Structure 1
Amino acid sequence: MSDGKTTQTKNQRILLAGILAAGLLAAVFATGQLMAPQSATAQDNGNQTSTQPPVTSADDVDCATDPSLVHCAEDAELISAPIDDSDKATLTTSGSATTKTQPDRFTVTVGVETSGETAREAASQNANMTATVIAALQELGIAEEQMSTSSYSVYPVYGNSSDRVCIEIYPPPPECQQTEITGYKASSSISVTLDADGEVDAGQVIDTAIEAGANNVSGVYFFLSSEKQQDVRDGLIADAIADARQRADAAADALGMQVSGIHSVTLNDVHFPIFYSTPEALKADTQILPGEQEVTSTVSITYFISGGVADEGEDGSMAAVAAAREFILSKLSGLGIEIDDELDLHTDMVAQISENEYHLEFGVMDTEGQSHDGHIEIVDGEVTVAILDGESML
């Protein structure tokens, strides 16, 4: 009986071990199936990555797109590209221009001052008189939008409450410090702004206002309108820059050098004076003459200066640049491109291809503010290729 139980126990253990072994094998198989697709994917990704072309540099892409660029040529030696200007010689000059001009606008300020025992009375009288003045100015042909109230106030008037005569000393005696309100005053002023060459002049405005009841004229201001200021400013700046350039050329010539570029420009503010006139109060037929105003503009310019135009004994790159500039300047007008100054033509990059061959990139800024880009190739001092805005210049 004992032997039977032992045998049964052994069989149960063997069966349990078999079940565990079968489960383990199933788990290993399932894991292998899951890993296989991932491994295959990784291998595919690896193969895909290895077949991608290598990343090219920006220069390679540029050269593939446009092999005419100077740095794409074989054995090209870069002479200059973006140039460091820190070691270049500079010359700073100032220029000025002055002109006389007549103001085209004026402002007249007239006022009314009234008194009353109460603030309401003073203000009421002032309002009536001001309305009369405004109506008279409108009859003169002045529109409402050409007039504006520039000031208005109502204030008390103080007086001594004692009949005693007080001397002017400081501090005043106690009995002289007792003051009380004895009345009120109201004051208002109107500013009229018109064209200086219009049908109504400043004198007519003053006389009409006084006849209508105005008892205060603050003054007359003649000035330049914003539009005329801009016209005068533009003309002065151009003349001042021309003056500075003339002085720079003279200085560079005395040094045996020449102006080769602009480093910086400083434009100083143009100050427009205001002509002020105070007419004699309550005088009929007032004559107000604006006269001329003198306006001055100044500029300060720092130029780059260099030696004279390269000859055969000097650096070949300088000779190439000089030859290129001469060629370009001779062709611009025929291409319908106008420039204000030769400095509007600038060389951006020079590359020496061989002992006697140079390639240049250049830019031109025309009088309308449009930029033009070009490429030139020079062999033995002669232009063999010239392209501007994608078109041949030859």
Structure 2
Amino acid sequence: MKTFLLTSFLISITYSQFLKPTQITQFCGIQEYLLPDIYYVQGSASTIVEPTQAIITLNIEVKKFQAQETLSQLAIISDKAIKAIKEQSSSDIKIQTNDFQIQPYTEFDYTVDPAKLIFKGFKANNQLTIETLNINEVGKIIDIAVKNGVETVGGVSFDISKEQKRRIKDVLIEDAIEDARHTADVILKQMNMKIISVKSVALNDVYSYDQMGILQQSVTVGYIIGPIDQ
């Protein structure tokens, strides 16, 4: 009989850890206060960072009747533009070729009635992505590219290096956690509660760097809390 009571007591204590926080267990005249569920608070931090690199997207397009001629002309223009940019740029740059496409193209012939589509040859496209650490050379690089056969500028964006992002992110995470702790302390004080320990920290998908130069990070911190007078 004693063994049965001891086993029942251990089962009761183990089970009590999973009961709702508003419940109080009582066994043999002893009351046990259960800590509330995890209290989650979101914190955030941000900073303004000056860009240190520029990314330029250039598009090269060639139209010729024969596919081989189209490809050859596209390669000539691409090589010429890349060589000129590398030679005339005063800073270290990275150039990547991507998004290559070739396809037949047609145009409407309006000299006949009704107008009809006729085969005009092949159209090939090539995209150059240029990364430069000298943001003051963006205009110069575009001028060089246009003079050497590039027809379209796809866009220009500014950013910071991966190493900078990593360092700044570490600081922002610490600041965001501190922000969450401050918010939790203020709110819990009004509830006559306090933080006992940190249960979890989750990084939210709000880490970003936008064109305004704002780098931000948010976190969600889970706290184990209890009464202030405990």
Place the TM-score, normalised by the shorter chain, in its bin: 0.7 to 0.9
Whichever residue aligns with residue 149 of structure 1, its letter is T
Whose relative contact order is higher, 1 or 2, with alpha carbons under 8 Å and at least 6 apart?
2
Q: Distance in 1 between matches of 2:82 and 2:63?
A: 20
Q: Aligned in 2, Cα 1:101/1:199: closer, same or farther, shift over 3 Å?
A: closer
Tell me how far 1:183 sits from its aligned partner. Answer: 2.7
TM-score, normalising length: structure 1:
0.45
Tell me how far 1:246 sits from its aligned partner. Answer: 1.1
Aligned 1:325-344 pairs, distance under 5 A? none
- Report the counterpart of residue 191 of structure 1 in structure 2: 129
Contact 2:92 2:132 in 1 (8 A): no
Give CA-to-partner distance per residue, 1:273-319, whole Å, 9 cap, x none.
454xxxxxxxxxxxxxxxx3223322222322233467xxxxxxxxx
| 2:223 is the counterpart of 1:303 | yes
Equivalent in 154, 160, 182 of residue 224 of structure 1 = 160
Looking at secondary structure, tell me which structure has more helix per residue: 1
Equivalent in 143, 148, 152 of residue 96 of structure 2 = 148
Q: Aligned in 2, Cα 1:252/1:227: closer, same or farther, shift over 3 Å?
A: same
| 2:229 is the counterpart of 1:293 | no
Whichever residue aligns with residue 226 of structure 2, its letter is S
Whichever residue aligns with residue 132 of structure 2, its letter is L
| 2:84 is the counterpart of 1:129 | no
Q: Distance in 2 between matches of 1:294 and 1:145?
A: 25
Give CA-to-partner distance per residue, 1:209-261, whole Å, 9 cap, x none.
11222111111122333222212221111111111111222222223332221
| 2:41 is the counterpart of 1:93 | yes
Q: Distance in 2 between matches of 1:131 and 1:306?
A: 68
Q: Distance in 2 between matches of 1:210 and 1:226?
A: 29
- Report the counterpart of residue 209 of structure 1 in structure 2: 145
Q: Distance in 2 between matches of 1:104 and 1:85?
A: 53
Q: Distance in 2 between matches of 1:246 and 1:161?
A: 71
Tell me how far 1:113 sits from its aligned partner. Answer: 1.9
Whichever residue aligns with residue 207 of structure 1, its letter is D
Q: What secondary structure sits across from 1:112 in the alignment? A: strand
Pairwise CA RMSD = 2.9
- Report the counterpart of residue 351 of structure 1 in structure 2: none
Tell me how far 1:192 sits from its aligned partner. Answer: 0.9
Structure 1 unaligned segments of length 5 or more: list them: 1-81, 167-175, 276-291, 311-394
Tell me how far 1:143 sits from its aligned partner. Answer: 8.5
| 2:188 is the counterpart of 1:252 | yes
Equivalent in 43, 50, 53 of residue 105 of structure 1 = 53
Q: Distance in 1 between matches of 2:143 and 2:110?
A: 42
- Report the counterpart of residue 118 of structure 1 in structure 2: 66
Runs of 4+ in 1 over 4 A off after TM superposition: 142-145
Contact 1:233 1:270 in 2 (8 A): no
Q: Distance in 1 between matches of 2:170 and 2:56?
A: 29
- Report the counterpart of residue 87 of structure 2 in structure 1: 139
Q: Aligned in 2, Cα 1:135/1:264: closer, same or farther, shift over 3 Å?
A: closer
Q: Distance in 2 between matches of 1:181 and 1:92?
A: 64
Q: Distance in 2 between matches of 1:271 and 1:135?
A: 37
Whichever residue aligns with residue 148 of structure 1, its letter is Q
Looking at secondary structure, tell me which structure has more strand per residue: 2
Q: What secondary structure sits across from 2:181 in the alignment? A: helix
Q: What secondary structure sits across from 2:199 in the alignment? A: strand
Equivalent in 177, 183, 192 of residue 241 of structure 1 = 177
Q: What secondary structure sits across from 1:146 in the alignment? A: strand
Aligned 1:335-374 pairs, distance under 5 A? none
Q: Aligned in 2, Cα 1:150/1:142: closer, same or farther, shift over 3 Å?
A: farther
Q: Distance in 1 between matches of 2:75 and 2:208?
A: 36
Whichever residue aligns with residue 157 of structure 1, its letter is Y
Q: Distance in 1 between matches of 2:225 and 2:148?
A: 68
**Residues paired across the two proteins, number:** 200
Equivalent in 197, 213, 217 of residue 261 of structure 1 = 197
Tell me how far 1:162 sits from its aligned partner. Answer: 7.8
Contact 2:65 2:122 in 1 (8 A): yes
Structure 2 unaligned segments of length 5 or more: list them: 1-13, 19-33
TM-score, normalising length: structure 2:
0.73
Whichever residue aligns with residue 119 of structure 2, its letter is I
Contact 1:259 1:306 in 2 (8 A): yes
- Report the counterpart of residue 39 of structure 1 in structure 2: none
